Amino acid sequence: MEAGGETAPLFDPAAAAGTVTGTAAGSAVTITLTASRGTPARASAWVNSGGSALCARAAPAAMAQASAIGIVQRNGAYRRNMVFQSTAPQRGAACPPIIVAMRFSPKTVGMASAVITVVIWTSFIVIARASADPSRGATLTPFDIALLRILGAGSILLPWGAWLLRSGRAKGGTGGQGWLGISPLPWRTTVLTGFFGGLLYAMLAYAGFVYAPAAHASVLMPGSLPLWTALLAAVILHDRITPARALGLAFILAGGLLVGGASLLRAFDGGDVWRGDLLFMTAALCWSIYSVLARRLALDAVRATIAITFLAFITYVPVYGLLIATGVVVTRLGDVPAGTVVFQALFQGVGSVVISGITFTQMIRHFGPVRSTMITALVPGLSALGAVLFLGEPLSGTLLAGLALVTLGILFGVRAAGARAPVKGADNDHSTLGMAQKHSK
């Protein structure tokens, strides 16, 4: 603040919490400062209608620009002091502490979320194949892996769901619209979305890895997902398939036929790979149904994930226990080290469901649905490469061509959708549906 030729800083971010003192007349402004060691933080400063006080509060979005001018000065300790100049300063009022500095910028968070999402999705395909393939000495059955996925995700999401409902009731909100005190969605919605997105998807995907290589899953699951979703969206959401998008989907279909069709022809020679390919495509269909339902019902991503995990927990776990007790299904959980069980629960449940769900949502917020799907188009190629490097799977010419077609189809379809689509929020953008869906694993 400037008064009588003297300039006084309104706040000094070098302080531990940061405080604002001083007054000025003017309208609202947004301050972006660096608290210390290059760490960014954002605060919103405004003056009341009488122009008697200036205060600072945390704000995620910028407010209206003020007539006052912000001057940034850098001192020698990697800190910045923000100074405001006003033509009619008034002194004497003190303001509460400003926000504590964020550790990372939005760009850093978006980039980190993209990397984490791609790594988890790629690792899911490779690890699931290594865990379920009997020829590699795997001891866990698909039923065991599905159980550990549900238990791992449930350890985080079920308490989270109960907390959301209690918080909603305490605030007099809609907390009572949940189901059984844990699912934050009504029972009909929980059952409908959880059946496809929670139960069927996991069982079909893990069963597919028993028969088919990870490289096939790389093409058929991420590849057929946008194909199924686009077709379902056209029927359920009346989403129009433009010629440009149709061409992209045609590339995806051609790539899937190259891979799945070749394995189907080998079925006459007694091969079982076609079974896994069929399971992969059916799993992608189930997730596409869930994705379209979530869009149609305008479901919050976190609440929907909690709901499908809750349904899987209350249905799959008791049925699994009953089948084990009656000898219908054999479990091998007791034959593996405890560390393997813990790892599968953490990766398949906490990593593939909870962490990737959060990072994917964060990536959508930063990059938008179109650019996010361009990033996730790396998954088929990376997972196929991982299958070659870590599992020793061959990469035939047919598989390589199918992989190239699927990746090209995803990129082409997304770019075409992005070129014609208006800018919208990630949660409400139906224009790229089928190309920008969550490839949850």
Of 175 and 163, the one with more pLDDT: 163
| Residues 68 and 111 both lie in one domain | no
Which tokens is 277 given?
A: 């390919």
* Digit-coded pLDDT (tens) for 170-186: 776 655 578 999 999 99
Does 158 lie in the same domain as 220? yes
Phi first, then psi: give them for residue 3, nearest 5 degrees.
Answer: -150, 120
pLDDT category of residue 204 using cuts at 50, 70 and 90:
very high
Same domain, 73 and 171: no
- DSSP, collapsed to helix, strand or coil, labels residue 95 as coil
Domain co-membership, 149 together with 76: no
Share of the chain above pLDDT 90, in %: 34
**Residues 293, 353 share a domain:** yes
Q: Is 97 a member of any domain? A: no
What confidence category does residue 362 fall into, taking pLDDT thresholds of 50, 70 and 90? confident
Closest CA to 140 of 127, 153, 125: 127
Query: Of 204, 212, 226, which Cα lies nearest the Cα of 405?
Result: 226
What is the predicted pLDDT for the residue at 247? Answer: 87
Residue 439 maps to a domain: no
Question: Rounded CA gap, 105 and 113, in Å?
Answer: 12
At residue 265, what are phi and psi to the nearest 5 degrees?
-65, -35
| 132 or 173: which leads in pLDDT | 132
pLDDT at 10 over 50: no
- The answer as to whether 123 is a domain residue is yes
- Dihedral through CA 167, CA 172, CA 173, CA 176, nearest 10? 80
Q: What pLDDT is attached to residue 357? A: 87
In a domain, 433, yes or no: no
Instruction: Decide: 306 and 198 in contact? Cβ < 8 Å.
Output: no
Quote the DSSP letter at residue 427: G
The larger pLDDT score, comparing residue 11 to residue 353, is at 353
Residue 119 is predicted with a pLDDT of: 95
Q: Is residue 423 part of a domain?
A: yes
* Maximum mean pLDDT: which of 173-187, 204-218, 352-366, 421-435: 204-218
Same domain, 73 and 117: no
Of 92-96, 395-399, 432-436, minimum mean pLDDT range: 432-436
At residue 414 the predicted structure's pLDDT band, cuts being 50, 70 and 90, is low
Q: Distance (Å, rounded) from C-alpha 423 to C-alpha 417?
A: 11
pLDDT computed for residue 94 by the predictor: 43
**Each residue's pLDDT tens digit, 330-350:** 999 988 899 999 999 999 999
Place of tokens 């929020």: 425
- Average confidence (pLDDT) over 201-220: 92
- Residues 22 and 126 placed together within one structural domain of the fold: no
Residue 441 has what pLDDT?
Answer: 58
Q: Comparing 109-113, 201-205, 258-262, which segment has the lowest mean pLDDT?
A: 258-262
> Range with the lowest mean pLDDT among 142-146, 174-178, 301-305, 331-335?
174-178
Looking at the structure of the chain, the number of domains it has is 2
Regarding whether 134 and 58 lie in a shared domain, the answer is: no
Is position 440 within any domain? Answer: no
pLDDT of 143 strictly over 80:
yes
Note whether residue 92 is domain-resident.
Answer: no
Which of 17, 51, 85 is where one domain is finished? 85
Q: Does 64 share its domain with 121?
A: no
Q: ∠ CA(182), CA(429), CA(424), 5° rounding?
A: 115
Average per-residue pLDDT in the chain?
A: 73
Residue 357 near residue 305, CB atoms below 8 Å: yes
pLDDT-derived band of residue 14, with 50, 70 and 90 as boundaries? Answer: very low
Residue 41 pLDDT grade (very low, low, confident, very high; cuts 50, 70, 90): very low
Find out whether 41 and 80 touch, Cβ atoms under 8 Å: no
> In terms of domains, do 132 and 9 share one?
no
Angle at 18 between CA 15 and CA 19, to 5 degrees: 115
Tell which of 27, 54, 85 closes a domain.
85
The answer to whether residue 286 is domain-embedded is: yes
Type of residue at 237: L
User: What distance in Å separates the CA atoms of residue 296 and residue 355, rounded to the nearest whole number?
Assistant: 24
pTM: 0.71
Q: Could you tell me if 128 and 204 are in contact, meaning their C-beta atoms sit under 8 angstroms apart?
A: no
* pLDDT greater than 80 at residue 127: yes
Q: Angle at Cα 360 formed by Cα 101 and Cα 218, nearest 5°?
A: 145
Q: Let me know whether 49 and 129 are in one domain.
A: no
Q: Concatenated DSSP letters for 129-185?
A: HHHH-GGGT----HHHHHHHHHHHHHHHHHHHHHHHHHHHHHTTSSGGGSBTTTBSS
Cβ atoms of 58 and 100 within 8 Å: the answer is: no
The whole domain housing 149 covers: 106-428
Which two tokens mark 409? Answer: 């189809």
Identity of residue 30:
T
SS3 51: coil
pLDDT at site 420 = 53
DSSP state of 18: -
The secondary structure of 279-342 as a DSSP string is: HHHHHHHHHHHHHHHHHHTT--HHHHHHHHHHHHHHHHHHHHHHHHHHTSS---GGGS-HHHHH
Same domain, 243 and 364: yes
Integer Cα distance of 54 and 148 in angstroms: 54
| Long-range pairs for 164-167: beta carbons < 8 A, 24 or more residues apart | 164/303, 164/306
